[in-house]
Homo-oligomer: A and B are copies of this chain.
Amino acid sequence: MRIVAVSLSDIAERAGVSVKTVSGALHGGSARMSDDTRQKVKAIAEELGYVTNFAARGVRQGWLPLVGVVSDGLITSPFATEIVRGLDGAARSAGMAVFAVNHRSGQSIGSVLDEVQQFRPRAVAYAAMYHKDVALPDRLAGAVGVMINCREAAGRVTALVPDEEGGAREIVRYLLVAGRRRIAFINLPGILAGTLREMGFRAALEEGGIDPLGVLPAVRRSVYSDRAPSLVASHVEALLKSGQRPDAILCGNDRVAMEVYAALARAGLRIPDDIAVASFDNQVEIASRLDPPLTTMALPHRAMGRLAMEILLAEQPEPPHLHKLPFHLVERASV
């Protein structure tokens, strides 16, 4: 069941040298030593199947080559796996591993952070499933190096968030360039992303000298939830019946777009000929499988992960700062 652990002293004994020489041969690139000795030691280590013991090294150094990522459910969310990818890629190139711990409801942030600290990670990030503000207790603000997809309420920690407003502006401009003029927005209500996107939506339309056809909530509850009953179908029907039939519908996310597709299909309208559809998220499973494939603004999740790791592992820490990362337009066939 468990591999018998080989230690440096096992190798040292077998090679007839001291432990320190073995350590130097395997890890210290600069250690003075004949090439002969180094090769012999390496060969024996290989033969014995030696694997470095990070726990032992960690005692001495004071930390393990880990970067802790505390999240409010991140690893169980298909959404933000991209964040982990970004983190992981950057971590590996620095010889670090990502240690993800999710923050279960009912558990205080402090206790999760303590849980992570037991492993003495090199740095710790906090990641949120959806863009929001997180209040970090005083004593913890110093323990977290960066906030991903969320902002520390008091601005004491560097935060990486999507540029919601800019993303909304970009997709609206894209619709305008495509000649669309009567644009409705079925938005996610009650969440920060929705509020910011609405600002961008309105700004971009104003810029083009156009009035929005409407900003409608995707669900009834003020707090967006996957389980809240959807209003999408009725909104679409209402929009189609109104005098000003839209020639484009912007959706709060790809799942909303999926419902819009269904409603438009029932009404016998073709996408994009009769009406364009665009959205946010680029949840590939959905966006690429819809017919026609959905044009959508991809969230900068992976970029946030990558940048987060760079900030965490930077030699000299920057002062707390808010980074807004740009969305990325994924053109498919729905516009």
Contacts and interface: CB of A to CB of B under 8 A. Distances in A.
Given A81-B76, A97-B101, A265-B265, A118 B255 contact: no
Contacts of A99: 97, 99
A241 to B, nearest CB: 19
A298 B226 CA distance: 18
A231 interface: no
A176 interface: no
Contact of A55 (B59, B85, B97): B59
B53 A120 contact: yes
A120 B78 contact: no
A72 to B, nearest CB: 14
Contact of A75 (B52, B81, B291, B317): B81
Contacts of A117: 3, 51
A220 to B, nearest CB: 16
Given A115-B97, A258-B289, A1 B55 contact: no
A51 B111 CA distance: 10
Given A84-B76, A286-B286, A3 B143 contact: yes
Contacts of A259: 289, 291
A49 interface: yes
Interface string A25-38: 00000000000000
A219 to B, nearest CB: 12
A285 B62 contact: no
B56 A1 contact: no
Interface of A: 1-3, 5, 49, 51-56, 58-59, 62-64, 75-78, 81-82, 84-85, 88, 97, 99-102, 114-115, 117-120, 123, 139, 142-143, 145, 226, 230, 233, 255, 258-259, 261-262, 265-266, 283-286, 288-291, 317
